Amino acid sequence: MKQKYIIVALAMLLFSGCSDFLEPDIRSSESTDGFYATSTGFESLTNAAYSSLRDMYNMQPLLFSAGTDIYGDGKSQGVIMNHYTALRATEGIIQTFYQNCYRGIQLANSVIAYGETTAESSVRKQYIDEARFIRAWYYFQLVQQFGEVALNTQMFDYAEMSHERTDIGTIYSFIIDEFTYLISGNSSLLDRSASGVGRANKRAAAFFLAKAYLTRAWLNGQGYESLEDNIAQSSDFTNAATYALQAINSEVPSLSIEDAFDFAKESNDEIFWSVQFDFSAVEDPSGDGSYQQAQFGAYLGGSENARNKAIDGNLSPFLRLHQLYDKGDGRYEQTFMQEFHTWYFDYYTNPTTSPIKIYYAPAWASDDDIAAWQADDPYGLKANTLISKTIANGGIAPSNGAPETYFNRRNMDFGVPCIKKFDDYSETSLSNRSSTCSMHDVVVARLGEAYLIAAEAYVMSGQPDKAANMITALRSRPGTIKTGFETVMTVSADDMTIDFILDERAREMAGEYVRWTDLKRTHKLVEYVTTFNEDGISEADLKGDDGNYKFLRPIPQTAIDRNQADVNQNPGY
């Protein structure tokens, strides 16, 4: 008989204790064989696989966003993930990420294994395919960050201590084959219209199939030296565009960025799939929620200002991100909290009565633009507003007399605007607003990015006219082009370069967890970080003692030490 805790073998694999998200489902008087053979037990195991996804976004944003061209140190200085020289195989954030991925994979493998013996039900095959989706998604995260990793597709109910790393080509083939099956007529995944945004569905599977093809297409032996094999296939960019269009399904974005990410509208037409957070589903709301709200802005005064949003100061947007938005691009004001009222959340709860304390003018703002903003004051909230420019020189900021540069201001309380699009302004959350965690779902697959995937694939396959059409359609979302600026926001085939696509991804997806993998995928990591990172990262910083670039994350040292297989560390570490 199998052990009661199927996670025992997983703990040996990951070299850490198991998470407690299975505890409510464990029956002390019943074996796992008996419990998971029932429809109730099988459903609980499937739910546990979904619950594991929350661990990826609780205190884990640095792996996706740090050390790039648009985010860096805020009030917190010397954040290890922002500075490559200090990055080691013992870094806890990397170890936790690695462990969480394999914990989720083992849960998915368990759903698949028990799905063959559990009681028949209307959802048995659906849950098996949802687990296959989750498993493929986890492997896509791992291969992008670490390259070669152990590819395990079986449920371990014993302590397996030897795990060979699998070559990158085999891992990508596995991911692509899984998502190809999941979008097929043989799959039991639901369509998005039936599944909602919280369950794996065929629309999301098409999205990740497109992104997997796009990522593999860049692995062409150029820019990565010996770190990754030349595994790209000639049809990869074409396939990426094809499946991105399948995910798009002829839909044009119908919601503004503000509405697409609105906490009150978390199941909307923009979203294909999101990781769900809810007060009723977490043990500790102050520590188990999403961390996305607490990133990407200036520190807001600490505990003495608990009525403001909690920001940890690890990832402040650089001036470059502000400067990427042209005048007339409505996504800027929908993304950043430009109008800071007496308290941060007054923007949502008291917008017509709370005075505006700070106005963060956009990078392109002239004195006339600022004067026009001040004159538009129907509620009389702007009489004492402090005007803060986000340009590099000049402007007034809450800086206590420090030199007026953007670099200095992002290290100061209230110095630069926060990204607001992930704000959880619910009454329950506001009562606990001193916490960095929120219950805002994390969107991981959406319509806007599908357009960007298609555009990138078209650029790289020599079809810039089609790429321009995708960007034009994306920019047709409500609120993107402000009246009178249609010409400024128009794009043509001549504009379509990979640099333009990366800039557009920054504008459209500010604060979403994609920037590090975007730069790595497109072979732009060294160029962009050394050119644009405001914290002074040099090319030498991006190299390890062995002379290799740190294009991959280090395999956690504990995983190497305790693995009985012969596992080499990634180059650069």
Q: Report percent pLDDT > 90 for the chain.
A: 73
Contacts of 406 (CB under 8 A, 6+ apart): 318, 319, 390, 391, 392, 416, 534
pLDDT of residue 285: 76
pLDDT of residue 223: 57
Residue 13: strand, helix, or coil:
helix
Q: Which long-range contacts (CB under 8 A, 24 or more apart) does 366-369 make?
A: 369/327
CATH assignment, 1-166+538-573: 1.25.40.890
Residue 407: is its pLDDT beyond 50?
yes
> CA 568, CA 89: separation in Å to the nearest integer?
12
Least Cα distance to 10 among 118, 139, 155 occurs for 155
Is the Cβ–Cβ distance between 385 and 359 less than 8 Å? yes
Least Cα distance to 144 among 106, 105, 109, 175 occurs for 175
> CA 132, CA 109: separation in Å to the nearest integer?
8
pLDDT of residue 228: 57
Residue 390's pLDDT band (cuts 50, 70, 90): low
Encode pLDDT of 522-567 as tens digits: 999 999 999 999 888 999 999 999 999 999 999 999 998 888 888 8
Query: How much of the chain is helix, strand and coil, in % rounded to 5?
Result: 45, 5, 50
Q: Is 180 exposed, middle or buried (0-12, 13-18, 19+ CB in 10 A)?
A: middle
Query: What average pLDDT does range 379-400 have in this prediction?
Result: 69
Task: Encode burial over 20-48: b for 16+ CB neighbours within 10 A, e otherwise.
Answer: ebbeebeeeeeebbebbeebebbbbbbbb
pLDDT of residue 159: 67
pLDDT of residue 551: 93
Residue 185 has a CB neighbour count (10 Å cut-off) of 5
Q: What is the DSSP letter of 156?
A: -
pLDDT of residue 443: 98
CATH assignment, 167-276+441-511: 1.25.40.390
- Equal fold, 1-166+538-573 vs 167-276+441-511: yes
pLDDT of residue 29: 45
Q: Is 240 exposed, middle or buried (0-12, 13-18, 19+ CB in 10 A)?
A: buried
Encode pLDDT of 223-270 as tens digits: 554 455 689 999 999 999 999 999 999 999 999 999 999 999 999 999
Query: What average pLDDT does range 278-304 have in this prediction?
Result: 86
pLDDT of residue 433: 64
| Mean pLDDT score across all residues of the chain | 89
pLDDT of residue 126: 98
Residue 383: is its pLDDT beyond 50?
yes
Encode pLDDT of 63-78 as tens digits: 999 999 999 998 888 8
Residue 15: is its pLDDT beyond 70?
no
pLDDT of residue 549: 93
Residue 221's pLDDT band (cuts 50, 70, 90): confident
Is the Cβ–Cβ distance between 97 and 145 less than 8 Å? yes
Token pair belonging to 54: 């929350």
Q: What is the DSSP letter of 229?
A: -
Query: What average pLDDT does range 310-318 have in this prediction?
Result: 90
Token pair belonging to 530: 């050394």
Q: What is the DSSP letter of 565?
A: S
pLDDT of residue 17: 31
Q: What is the DSSP letter of 411?
A: T
Residue 317: strand, helix, or coil:
strand
Q: Report percent pLDDT > 70 for the chain.
A: 89
Least Cα distance to 59 among 420, 344, 435, 428 occurs for 435
Residue 520's pLDDT band (cuts 50, 70, 90): very high
Length of the chain: 573
Q: Which residue has the higher pLDDT, 284 or 538?
A: 538
Residue 402: is its pLDDT beyond 80?
no
Angle at CA of residue 97, ends 93 and 98, nearest 5°: 120
Encode pLDDT of 420-466 as tens digits: 999 999 988 887 666 788 999 999 999 999 999 999 999 999 999 99
Q: What is the DSSP letter of 133?
A: H
Phi, psi of 131 (to 5 degrees): -65, -35
Q: Where are the domains of the chain?
A: 1-166+538-573, 167-276+441-511, 294-429
pLDDT of residue 27: 46
Is the Cβ–Cβ distance between 60 and 291 less than 8 Å? yes
Is the Cβ–Cβ distance between 477 and 253 less than 8 Å? yes
> CA 214, CA 245: separation in Å to the nearest integer?
13
> CA 311, CA 413: separation in Å to the nearest integer?
10
Residue 404's pLDDT band (cuts 50, 70, 90): low
> CA 195, CA 274: separation in Å to the nearest integer?
12
Residue 368: is its pLDDT beyond 90?
yes
Residue 213 vs residues 296, 418, 505, 510: alpha-carbon distances, Å: 30, 34, 18, 23
Residue 16 has a CB neighbour count (10 Å cut-off) of 19
Residue 174's pLDDT band (cuts 50, 70, 90): very high
pLDDT of residue 388: 87
* Range with the poorest average pLDDT among 51-55, 311-315, 406-410, 525-529: 406-410
